[in-house]
Amino acid sequence: MKACSHASIPEVSRLFMIERLPPDPRMIALPAELRNAIAQALDRVPAIRWMTAARTLSEQYRALDDIGAAPAVRTHLDALGYAALFMPATYAQLYGAMKAAAERIPSWSPETMLDMGSGPGTALWAATVCWPSLRDLTAWEREPVLIALGRNFAHTSANPALRSVRWVQRTLQAPIERGIRFDLVVLGHVLGEIPPDERSAIVETAWRLSRGMLLIVEPGTSVGFAVVRAARDLLLANGAATIAPCTHDQPCPLTNDWCHFPQRLRRPEFQRRARGASSPWEDAKYSYAALTRFPPERPVWGRVIREPTFNKAYAEVLISSRDGILRHRALKRDRDAFKWVKHLEWGQTLEEQP
């Protein structure tokens, strides 16, 4: 990549440091094909142009006052800026949610997928990693520049499903063709960017289109969680079953708090440049709900919804369970129990009550 060949000594050192990071089982990276496709697309324009576009988009997101609004991505440079700045973390969030859902129904092998509001196809790449059985992918996207970029990225993949994605330019409010249904439907980073009074209709449409799972993913903020929570409540009222993250089909018991999870990401070099970030990794946090027309394969009692904390006296963890929200504490003098709590992972499911 041209940007690497002209990197300064400190930049080269950081790149070397990324390659030599110690193994971390929580860490993921963009698929090599996708990372290379983004890097090559960026390399075709002067770096100052796509970096400026990325930072402009970032500033526009931070300046948003209206819930349900989002900056427009209308030009090729806008799309490149989006891919450089947002696509890696969005991939991590979608992957984290999909992996957690797949773990609850390991025998489910979806073949068809609809990505509603696909952008440059980020969810398609994550889904084909988590469900290799997918063979027929459809992407709905409003902006032509994002479709063009997403198509170019997908054509670089060795996966036939990605190379043959069916891209459709349309809004989510447009009439739906009768009779079409998909095993997996994804609303990834979509609901929070449309007006609140339009969300319920879109969720209901997505549910009608799904014959298997509807997965909703939003950024792991209090606002993102509220969007996911409202969608889950609506789907439960329509007879959906919760796969993840909840271990029950009851209303969310959280009060004055929000449920979110981290996915650790090895940052590609172009994202660090776009963000002006020196750290080689980040924890991309997300809120999500995976709901299906069938129950999970086996019940679990609870899920860890915060990273465990510990001090000289005890270790403590917050659990969302079938019995509500519980704060489980293990005293240090009980060495086995203390060690068990201390080493629980944020997002881990628990078969039984400790």
List, in order, residues 6 or more apart from 81 with CB less than 8 Å away: 50, 51, 52, 53, 54, 55, 56, 57, 274
Q: What is the pLDDT of residue 33?
A: 97
6 pLDDT more than 50: no
CATH architecture of the domain formed by 2-292: 3-Layer(aba) Sandwich (3.40)
**What average pLDDT does the segment 332-340 reach?**
94
Number of H helices, E strands in the chain: 13, 14
Positive or negative, the Cα torsion across 337, 343, 344, 350? negative
340 pLDDT more than 50: yes
* CA 99 and chain centroid, separation: 10
What 3-state DSSP class applies to 342? Answer: helix
Q: How far apart, in Å, are the Cα atoms of 11 and each of 120, 270, 274?
A: 28, 11, 13
43 pLDDT more than 70: yes
pLDDT band of residue 20 (cuts 50, 70, 90) is low
Q: Which amino acid, one-letter code, is at 290? A: A
11 pLDDT more than 90: no
Nearest to 144 by CA among 175, 179, 169: 169
Minimum mean pLDDT range among 61-70, 214-223, 292-301: 61-70
* Average pLDDT of the chain, as a whole number: 90
DSSP per residue, 144-204: HHHHHHHHHHHTT-S-HHHHT-EEEE--TTSPPPTT--EEEEEEES-GGGS-HHHHHHHHH
Nearest to 3 by CA among 53, 54, 37, 45: 45
Q: What is the pLDDT of residue 21?
A: 56
Beta partners for 285? Answer: 262
* Cβ pair 287, 228 in contact under 8 A: yes
Beta strand 314-321 with 302-304 is antiparallel
**What average pLDDT does the segment 93-103 reach?**
98
Half-sphere exposure of 206 (CA within 13 A, CB side): 34
Q: What is the pLDDT of residue 18?
A: 42
**What average pLDDT does the segment 315-339 reach?**
94
The fraction of the chain above a pLDDT of 70, given in percent, is: 91
The fraction of the chain above a pLDDT of 90, given in percent, is: 80
**What average pLDDT does the segment 34-39 reach?**
97
Distance CA(288)–CA(203), nearest Å, equals 14
Nearest to 261 by CA among 347, 326, 324, 348: 347
**Fold match between domain 2-292 and domain 302-350:** no
Residue 64 vs residue 101, higher pLDDT: 101
Distance CA(152)–CA(36), nearest Å, equals 12
Distance CA(71)–CA(264), nearest Å, equals 26
* CA 120 and chain centroid, separation: 14
Burial 177-204 (b: 16+ CB within 10 A, else e): eeeeebbbbbbbbbbbbbeeeebeebbe
Minimum mean pLDDT range among 35-44, 64-73, 133-142: 64-73
**What average pLDDT does the segment 269-277 reach?**
90
Q: What is the pLDDT of residue 5?
A: 35
pTM: 0.91
DSSP H or E segment with residue 124: helix 122-130
pLDDT in tens, 237-258: 999 999 999 999 999 999 889 9
Q: What is the pLDDT of residue 64?
A: 62
Q: What is the pLDDT of residue 70?
A: 66
Q: What is the pLDDT of residue 69?
A: 59
pLDDT in tens, 157-190: 999 999 999 999 999 999 898 889 999 999 999 9
* CA 233 and chain centroid, separation: 20
Task: Provide the residue ranges of all domains of the chain, joining segments of one domain with +.
Answer: 2-292, 302-350
CATH architecture of the domain formed by 302-350: Beta Barrel (2.40)
